[in-house]
Structure 1
Amino acid sequence: MLNVNPKMLDRLAELEEDLHARRARAEAEGWLGEIEGLDLTLRFLADKWQQAMRLSKITGAAGLGMPGIRVPTR
């Protein structure tokens, strides 16, 4: 199973938009098999979107702050 890089969420949105346009055309043309395939692909895309969102929360950068300067003790 491939993992989606969270930086690619914009690309997933483009793919989803294209798939919806293709589905609308398939519906207008009466291509039932194509509609079924596109619906399945849209479901997989939604799963990948959720996976990428989970990964973006897990792999987010942790703020450690700036290190302090130690004053030498004698």
Structure 2
Amino acid sequence: MEEISDNLKDRIAEAEREGWLGEVEGLSTSLAAAEDKIAQIQAQQEKKQSPVFLGLPSLSQLTARTSEATK
């Protein structure tokens, strides 16, 4: 995806030099979509690498378990 993004940036620069305004607009839209997709992929990877908080039992839950085990 990053190669696609880089290629689009190069094509936008070329279209601006040549004065192809319609082409610039279309390529800019494609670039925005590619950058959004890259951000989604990065967020998904970060989410996979982040720890998951499973919570801690409360004191009442611990004492209830202890009293049931001693019966």
Common topology (TM > 0.5): yes
What are the ranges of 5 or more consecutive residues in structure 1 without an aligned counterpart?
1-11, 63-74
Segments of 5+ residues of structure 2 without an aligned counterpart are: 52-71
For normalisation by structure 1, the TM-score amounts to 0.61
Query: Paired residue for 2:35?
Result: 46
Query: What TM-score do the two structures reach when normalised by structure 2?
Result: 0.63
1:57 Cα deviation (Å)?
1.8
Cα distance in structure 1, aligned partners of 2:38 and 2:47: 14
Match of 2:12 among 8, 23, 44: 23
1:20-48 Cα distance to aligned partner (Å, 9 max, x none): 11111111111110000011111111110
Take 2:6 and 2:46, find their aligned partners in 1: how far apart are those partners?
24
User: Within 2, Cα distance between the matches of 1:34 and 1:56?
Assistant: 33
Task: Tell me which of 35, 44, 48 is aligned to 1:55.
Answer: 44
Give the aligned CA root-mean-square deviation in angstroms. Answer: 1.7
The sequence identity of aligned pairs, in percent, is 38
- Look at both structures and tell me which one has the larger radius of gyration over its CA atoms: 2
Aligned letter for 1:36? E
State how many pairs are aligned: 51
Instruction: Tell me the residue number matched to 2:67.
Output: none
